[in-house]
Structure 1
Amino acid sequence: MTVPAHWVQPAVHPAYARLLCMHLRKRGVELSRLLSGTGLTWPQLLDASRSLSFAQMRRLILSALELSGSPLLGMEIGASVPVSAHGPVGYAAMASKDVGQALDVIVRYSVLRASMLDMRLLTGGPVACLQIRERFDLGDVRIPILEGTSVLLVQVLEALVGDALGELEYRVPYPAAPWHAAYASRFSGTIVFDAACMEIRFPGALLAAPCLTADPLAYAAALRDCEQALAQRGPGGDLAQQVRARLAAREGDYPGCDGMADELHMSARTLIRKLKQCGTSYQALLDEVRKERAQWFLRHTGLPVETIAERLGYLDTSNFGRTFRRWFGVSPKEFRAGAQAQARGGPPHD
C-alpha cells in the first residue's frame, strides 16, 4: 500500500493514543477490538520514544469513532487530557510567569507532541488570536482532531488562570455539524463556522494574566528539555523514527534499504551511516516492525500462519517460522496457543 509521504512521518506522541484507548475502555470497548486492523499494538503505544505517524493515528481514531458511535469523541478526549500528557511542553506552559509566555511555549513546542498541526499566536491589539492550522489535509479525521485540540487548549488556559475564560470567539474551518449544538457545553462563547482555519480569539489583556502555577526554576528546566527535544528533530535527528514509521504504515511490500533510501531522498550508504549514528540499522528496524506486527496478528486474528507470513513480506513460510522462533523461542503456532490460553485465564502453553 502506498500512502502520501507526509502520512508516514512521525506525527503524534503515543501518550494521546494511550489516552484514547483508555477512554474507549471506560466505555466498554475491548482494547483488542479497538486496535484490530490498525496495525498498532499496546506495547508499541507504551514506548514513549516512538511517535506515531498520522496514518497510524488516523486508523486508531476511525476505529474509535466507529466503536464508540460518538461524533463528540474528539471533544471528549480533549477534555480528559491531563497536563502531564503534554510532557515537558505542558510542564513549561504551566510553570510560565503569565498566559502570554505559556502560549509562546505551546506555539513553539507543540510540534513535539503533534507535528501535523501548526500553531500561531497573533497579538498586538485588543483581541489576541491563537490559530491552529493543518500542515496538510487531515481528511476524515479532521473534525475530531481540531475539536479535541481546541477543547484541550481552552482547558490548559483555564488551568493557568484558575477560572473559566468567559465568552470567547471560536472560528472553525468546516460547516456546522449535526452535533454542533453540543458545542455550547464545551465552548463558552461565539462559534463561527466555515472560517479559513481554526482560531480561538480572546481579550488581549488575558496575555498578561499571571499563571497560578508559575515557577521560574521549573520553567527553566522544562524549557531546556523542550529545546533538547526540538534539537533532536533536526536533520537526521529522528531518522530512525521516520524509517520505522514508514515501515509500520506498510503491509508486506517492505522496500529494501535502497528503496527506503530513495523514499528519503538520500543514498543507501548515507542511510546506513545515519542509522548507525542513531544506534540501529535498517534491518533492525524492519525486524522490529515485523516482530510487533507478527505478535499482533497471532494474538488478535485467526489468520493462518501462511497468510501472516505473506503480510509480513515473507515469500517462504518456513523462513518466517525460523525468524519467529529466533525472536520468541517458540513457533508461531505455539505462540498463538499460549496467547489464547492466557486470554482464557489459563497457564501459557509450554
Structure 2
Amino acid sequence: MHIDFHESFLPSYIPRAIVELCLQEHISEDVIFAQLELCIQQLRDPHFKLTYSEMSILVGNCLSALDLNQLSIKVGQHIQLKDLGLIGQLLQHCPTLKDALYVLERYSVLIDPALWFKVEKDQDYFVIRYRKMIPLGDIYQYSQEVISILLIRLLSQLFDIENLQLHFEFSIPSHAKQLHFLPCSMSWNQPETQLIIHDPKHSSNIGQAVSSNSSSEFLQLKQQAESQFKDFFRVKKYWIFRVLSLIHSHLHQPLKAEDLAALLFTSRSTFFRKLHVYHTNYEDLIQQVRMDFASKYLLQNKGTVSHLAYTLGFSHPSNFIKSFQDYFGMPPKQWQNSQFETIALLD
C-alpha cells in the first residue's frame, strides 16, 4: 500500500518556531527554504498546513544549518507555549500537573502528529514516556533532547514541581555538560527516554499551578481540544499517518494490534475495520514500514545487513534476507548494488 503525503495536512506550529529560531541565528531564507516553494509569511499564518514532504525538508534544512552542539538546547529553549497552538493555551489553564499530563498524552497529535506521549502513574511518581515517531536517523537523539528540555521547562514554568529524574536511551553525548541547566538528575544508556516526577506526598493533585487558573476557561479549551482531536481522527490521512508513525517508533519490537489500537484511542475491531478501508492489514503495514526503512538504510550505506536485521526486530539475518527478497525480488546486497549502479549511470 502506498500513502500519498503530498497534501497539506500537518500543523506548522513547531516548524514555524524552528524557522524563526534560524532567522534569529542569521541563517538566510534561501538556506531555510531550499527545495521548497514556501516563504516565512505563509508559515506565520496560524491556519497554514504543511505537506509531509514540506515538513521533512523544512525541518531538515533548519537542523542542518544549526550548530549540532547547541541544537537541542537552542530549539528546546526557543519553543514557547504560544508555539503549541490550542494545546499551549490549554496547558496554561490546567489546574494541576495531572491535568497537564493528560492533555499532553491525549492531545499531542494537535501539536505534531508524529509526537507520542504516554503517562503512567505509580503510588509516588509519574513516568512520562515520549518520542518523535518518524525515522530521524542521526538527529533522533537531538529530537529526544529537544522534547525533554521543552517538557521540563514548560512544566516547571507552569507548576510547582521538584524531584525530577531524566533517563536518556542513548550514550552520554559530548555536550552533556551543557544540559546541566535542567533542574533534574540525568542518566544515560537507559532502555527508554523517560521523565520521572516524584510525588512524596502521594497526592493525586501533584504540582499545583503556579498561577491561578479559571476552571471555566480550562473546560472550554478542553472541549475545543476534544473537538479538534475527534476531527483529526476522522481524516483518513491523519489516521494512517499516525498508524505508520507508531509502527516506525516500534520497529525493533512491533506492537500487538490491540496495543497499537489503544495508543490510537480506539478498539481492536475498529482498528482492523479502518485498515480494511485501505485494503491492507496490520502485518502488511509492518512489512511495508520495515522494508521502507531497510531500503533507506541500504541506500545510505549505513552498516551491515546483520545490524539492519536486528534493528528491524528479525531474530536472525537470514529471516530478514528472505523477507527482503520476497518484497524487492532480490537479496539486500544485490538490491543495494543495483541501486548504486543506477545512481552512477544517472550521474
Q: Same fold (TM over 0.5)?
A: yes
Please give the alpha-carbon distance, in whole angstroms, between the structure 1 residues aligned to 2:92 and 2:143.
23
Q: Which runs of 5+ in 2 are unaligned?
A: 242-276, 280-347
Residue 180, structure 1, aligned to residue 205, structure 2? no
Residue 225, structure 1, aligned to residue 234, structure 2? no
1:145 to 133, 139, 143: 143
Partner SS for 1:58: helix
**Matched ranges for 1:282-321 at <5 A:** none
Partner SS for 1:131: strand
Residue 202, structure 1, aligned to residue 200, structure 2? no
* Paired letter, 1:183: L
Between the two structures, name the one with larger relative contact order (CA 8 Å, sep ≥ 6): 1
Please give the alpha-carbon distance, in whole angstroms, between the structure 1 residues aligned to 2:49 and 2:191.
29
Please give the alpha-carbon distance, in whole angstroms, between the structure 2 residues aligned to 1:152 and 1:239.
24
Residue number in structure 2 paired with 1:236: 235
Tell me if structure 1 keeps the 8 A contact 2:93–2:218: yes
Once the 2 structures are TM-superposed, how far is the Cα of residue 233 of structure 1 from its aligned partner? Answer: 1.1
* Paired letter, 1:188: P
Residue 189, structure 1, aligned to residue 188, structure 2? no
1:93 to 91, 94, 100: 91
Residue 36, structure 1, aligned to residue 31, structure 2? no
Please give the alpha-carbon distance, in whole angstroms, between the structure 2 residues aligned to 1:175 and 1:58.
26
Residue 157, structure 1, aligned to residue 155, structure 2? yes
Residue 74, structure 1, aligned to residue 72, structure 2? yes
Residue number in structure 2 paired with 1:171: 167
Tell me if structure 1 keeps the 8 A contact 2:108–2:117: yes
Identity %: 15
RMSD across aligned C-alpha pairs, in angstroms? 3.2
Tell which structure's C-alpha radius of gyration is larger: 1
Once the 2 structures are TM-superposed, how far is the Cα of residue 76 of structure 1 from its aligned partner? Answer: 1.4
Partner SS for 2:142: helix
CA 1:109/1:240 → structure 2, altered by over 3 Å: closer, same or farther? Answer: closer
Tell me if structure 2 keeps the 8 A contact 1:129–1:199: yes
Once the 2 structures are TM-superposed, how far is the Cα of residue 78 of structure 1 from its aligned partner? Answer: 1.8
User: How far does the alpha carbon of each residue in 1:202-253 deviate from its partner, in whole angstroms, 9 at most, with x for none?
Assistant: 11357522212421111011111101111111233667998xxxxxxxxxxx
User: How far does the alpha carbon of each residue in 1:119-172 deviate from its partner, in whole angstroms, 9 at most, with x for none?
Assistant: 0111122222111034343323312222111111112211222x5x44421111
* Paired letter, 1:180: A
Residue 132, structure 1, aligned to residue 127, structure 2? no
Tell me if structure 1 keeps the 8 A contact 2:168–2:186: yes
Please give the alpha-carbon distance, in whole angstroms, between the structure 2 residues aligned to 1:180 and 1:202.
21
Partner SS for 2:18: helix
Please give the alpha-carbon distance, in whole angstroms, between the structure 2 residues aligned to 1:51 and 1:150.
25
Tell me if structure 2 keeps the 8 A contact 1:13–1:51: yes
Partner SS for 1:208: coil
Please list every run of at least 4 consecutive aligned residues from structure 1 whose deviation after the TM superposition is greater than 6 angstroms. 6-11, 239-242
Tell me if structure 1 keeps the 8 A contact 2:91–2:103: yes
Please give the alpha-carbon distance, in whole angstroms, between the structure 2 residues aligned to 1:105 and 1:56.
27
Q: Which runs of 5+ in 1 are unaligned?
A: 243-263, 267-350
CA 1:86/1:232 → structure 2, altered by over 3 Å: closer, same or farther? Answer: same
